[in-house]
Structure formats: C-alpha cells, structure tokens
C-alpha cells in the first residue's frame, strides 16, 4: 500500500500547487496536467484532466475503472483504490511500462479533492458542458469552490419523498437547461388519502432531469434493493472512459448518444452503439465505453450495486454478457 500524503509545495510560476500520491506526481501549467512516476511521464490537456478528476472525486471512484484517458486512471476496490498509468493500455503492458499503486480510498480522495480545488480557476465548471462554462486554461485566477464541491444526489428510496433527496425547481436554484426548454414541467396528479402522503408518491422525472446543472454525472433517483436507477443528462463527451467491473445498462430517455466501446483491458475497438429515445442496451462487464451526445440528452444508467459482483466477474464466475439468446 502506497503513501497517500499530498505534497504541499509553494505554488509554481503559474500559481498552481503540485501534488503527490505515492510515486505519482501531479503538476499543472497553463494548458496541461503533467503526471509523472518513476520510469514514466504523461501529459493531458488540463480541462480534460479536471473534468475526469471531477467525476472521480464526486463518484468516490465510481464502479470499476475510471480511465481519465488511454493511460491514466483509477480502479475502485471499494475501500482501496488503484492509481495507475498504462495498466489498461496494450502498448504499455506489452513492454511492462505500466505502473500501479494501491492506496486506501480515504488517502487518495483528499489529495484529489485538493488538486481539483487548486487547479480549477474562477469561471471553469468541470461538470458543465463546454458551451456553459468558461475556460480552464491560463494562470491561477480565483477558484470555483462551489462547483467542485457539489454533492452527488443519492436517493435512498425515491427522489421527493420525505427524508429523501429533494425535487428541483427555480426556487432551489435549478433552472431548466437551455436544451430542455421544451420539456413539459407539469407534475403528475397525486391524490393521497390521509396517512398515505409519503407512500402515494410520483414526480415529473423528465422535468427533474431537465433541471440538472451537471453533465455526465449519474445520480440515484430510485432504489429497489441493489437495483439503482441512476439518470444523468449528457452533452458533448463523457470526460472519462468507464471500464466496467460488472454489467451496467443504459436506457436512452431522450435524444441520442453514440458510444465507443473498446476492450476493458487493452482499449482495442469492439463496437459502436448508437442509442435513440427508447433504446435499451447493456454494457458488458469486460468493456470500457465513452459516450458522445450532440445535444443535451437524458440517459438512464441502471446499476446493480451488489458488492459481490466485481469479484464474481473478475474470477469469471459470471459471464460478461447479461443474457444469452
């Protein structure tokens, strides 16, 4: 297990601090994030890096592999997390150039949070679509603390119930997104007899999504045991390449998303999946995927949160495809 301590340096000439976890060092300049480790270096456009880092932090390392790009990323083991370079890259693996270090999740999280906060400048929102945000580039200038510390919505039973995560409205600061101005905002008729007000429950789910102020950020809206409905609104490009550690499913609720699907281990192309409203598709347990949404769209991501699944798939006790026919 590595040493998860952040390195608190004085800011560099661009005004940014450097960070370190174990052997991995992170620095930024005006345009790029520079990642280095004993025996290797990697460079990423800093907007791309911050958008990926934002998801990794907000999702607490999510399910499985969060590839920031073809080289750098994290793998969640739910308590520990692997930080890697080249681990899921055919070329790096062929020459044994990859590096992976395992940390306690609570060692990595504060370093990633501090880096995200320090490197995100005023006017840049890593969760926003490109048309909705200012630039990530340039010297250190202010911060966007409010944007990078948003809490992910995690309903325990269903959005809108008492003691559960609230609905969205103008009054709570969630305005209808410019791409969803035509989405009907009328609520369902709910007629509850006295005493059943918190069980007779319905809400306008599409209106709720039309008011999401973030992109590519699945939140939980309804729960049936380990079955989680995790809708999200998507615009432009998924800032990570998600490597599955279980099967996940997509239901396209509106508009259209194109998915590039590649091999989980090597990144070799396997398929493209084009999804339009009403389309349903599984993402098998042995792939990684990245989505492209030309217009802001509503996507229902459906997850099985059973904590035993990653090991069952890793040990091939479960097939990577969800159904045989």
Partner 1 sequence: MATYQTRFGSLQNFEKGGVEVINDDARNYAFSNLYEVAAAAEPYEKVAVGKNLKYVLEAIRAEGTSPWYTTSHDEAAIVMDGEIEIRLVKLEGKLVAEDHEGTTMLEGTPKGPKMGYIVARRGHMALLPKGAAYQFHAAKPGVILLQTIRGDLTVERWKDICQK
Q: Which of residues 263-302 bind partner 1 (CB under 8 A)?
A: 268-284, 295-296, 300, 302
Kindly identify the residues of this chain, within the stretch 209-248, that bind partner 1 according to CB under 8 A.
Answer: 221-227, 229, 246-248
Complex with partner 1: residue 145 or 295, whichever CB lies closer = 295
Residue span 140-159 as binding mask against partner 1, x where in contact by CB under 8 A, dash where not = -----------------xxx
List strand residue ranges (DSSP E) for 86-137, in order: 99-104
**Helix 46-58 / helix 105-119 crossing angle, nearest 10 deg:** 140
The residue (of 121 and 273) whose beta carbon lies closer to Fe ion is: 273
Nearer to Fe ion, 88 or 124 (CB): 88
CA dihedral 242, 245, 251, 254 (to 10 degrees): -10
Residue 215: is it exposed, middle or buried by C-beta count within 10 angstroms (0-12/13-18/19+)?
buried
Q: Which does 189 bind (CB under 5 to 8 A by kind): Fe ion, partner 1, none?
A: partner 1
Q: How many residues bind Fe ion (CB under 5 A)?
A: 1
Residue 33 Cβ vs partner 1, minimum distance, rounded to whole Å: 30
- Of 180, 216, 218, 291, the residue at the interface with partner 1 (CB under 8 A) is 180
Q: Which residues contact 314 (CB under 8 A, 6 or more apart)?
A: 245
Helix (H, G, I), strand (E, B) or coil at 79: coil
**Residue 161 binds which of Fe ion, partner 1, none (CB < 5-8 A, kind-dependent):** partner 1
Of 183 and 282, CB closest to Fe ion? 282
Q: Is 322 in the site for partner 1 (CB under 8 A)?
A: yes
Q: How far apart are CA 280 and CA 272, in angstroms?
A: 14
Smaller CB separation from partner 1, 122 or 226: 226
Supply angle C-alpha 306, 227, 298, rounded to 5.
Answer: 125
The two three-digit tokens of residue 55, written as one number: 């998801």
Say how many C-beta atoms besides its own lie within 10 A of residue 209's C-beta.
24
Query: For partner 1, which residue of 204, 213, 266, 290 counts as binding (CB under 8 A)?
Result: 204
Residue numbers 230-269 binding Fe ion by CB under 5 A = 242
Min dist. Cβ of residue 288 to Fe ion (A) = 8
Residue 269 interacting partner from Fe ion, partner 1, none (CB closer than 5 to 8 Å by kind): partner 1
Residue 270 binds which one of partner 1, Fe ion, none, with CB within 5 to 8 A depending on kind? Answer: partner 1
CA quadruple 231, 72, 49, 27: dihedral, nearest 10: 150
Nearer to partner 1, 21 or 253 (CB): 253
CB of 120 to Fe ion, least distance (A): 24
Member of 1, 190, 311, 314 binding partner 1 (CB under 8 A): 190
Q: Pick between residue 1 and residue 271 the one whose CB is nearest to partner 1.
A: 271
How far apart are the C-alpha atoms of 55 and 217, rounded to whole Å?
A: 7
Question: How many residues belong to the site for partner 1 (CB under 8 A)?
Answer: 80
Look at the block and give the residue holding tokens 């200012």. 134
Can you tell me the distance from the alpha carbon of 313 to that of 325, in angstroms, rounded to the nearest whole number?
Answer: 20
Select 122 or 308, whichever has its Cβ closest to partner 1. Answer: 308
Q: Enumerate long-range contacts of 207-211, CB under 8 Å, 24 or more apart.
A: 207/176, 207/183, 208/159, 208/167, 208/168, 209/180, 209/233, 209/253, 209/298, 210/176, 210/177, 210/180, 210/183, 210/185, 210/298, 211/168, 211/169, 211/174, 211/175, 211/176, 211/177, 211/180
Q: How far is the CB of 255 from partner 1 (least distance, A)?
A: 5
Q: Which residues sit at the interface with Fe ion, rule CB under 5 A?
A: 242
């Amino acid at each position: 297990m590595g040493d998860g301590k952040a390195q608190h340096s004085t800011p560099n000439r661009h005004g940014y601090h450097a960070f370190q976890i174990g052997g991995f060092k992170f620095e930024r300049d005006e345009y790029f994030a520079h990642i280095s480790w004993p025996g290797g270096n990697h460079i990423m456009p800093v907007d791309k890096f911050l958008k990926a880092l934002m998801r990794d932090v907000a999702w607490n390392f999510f399910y499985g592999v969060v590839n920031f790009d073809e080289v750098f990323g994290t793998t969640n083991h739910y308590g520990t997390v692997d930080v890697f370079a080249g681990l899921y890259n055919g070329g790096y693996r062929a020459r044994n150039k990859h590096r992976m270090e395992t940390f306690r999740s609570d060692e990595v999280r504060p370093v990633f949070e501090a880096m995200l906060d320090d490197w995100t400048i005023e006017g840049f929102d890593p969760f926003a679509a490109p048309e909705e945000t200012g630039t990530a580039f340039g010297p250190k200038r202010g911060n966007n603390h409010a944007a990078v510390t948003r809490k992910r919505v995690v309903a325990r039973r269903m959005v809108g119930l008492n003691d559960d995560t609230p609905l969205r409205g103008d009054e709570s600061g969630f305005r209808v997104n410019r791409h969803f101005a035509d989405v009907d905002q009328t609520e369902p008729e709910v007629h509850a007899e006295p005493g059943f007000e918190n069980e007779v429950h319905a809400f306008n789910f599409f209106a709720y999504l039309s008011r999401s102020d973030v992109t590519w950020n699945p939140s939980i809206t309804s729960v049936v045991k380990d079955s989680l409905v995790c809708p999200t609104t998507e615009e432009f490009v998924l800032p990570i390449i998600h490597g599955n550690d279980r099967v996940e499913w997509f239901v396209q609720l509106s508009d259209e998303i194109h998915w590039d699907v590649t091999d989980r281990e090597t990144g070799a192309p396997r398929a493209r999946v084009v999804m339009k409203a009403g389309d349903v598709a599984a993402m098998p347990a042995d792939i990684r995927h990245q989505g492209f949404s030309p217009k802001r769209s509503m996507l229902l991501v459906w997850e099985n949160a059973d904590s035993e699944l990653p090991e069952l798939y890793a040990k091939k006790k479960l097939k990577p495809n969800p159904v045989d026919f």
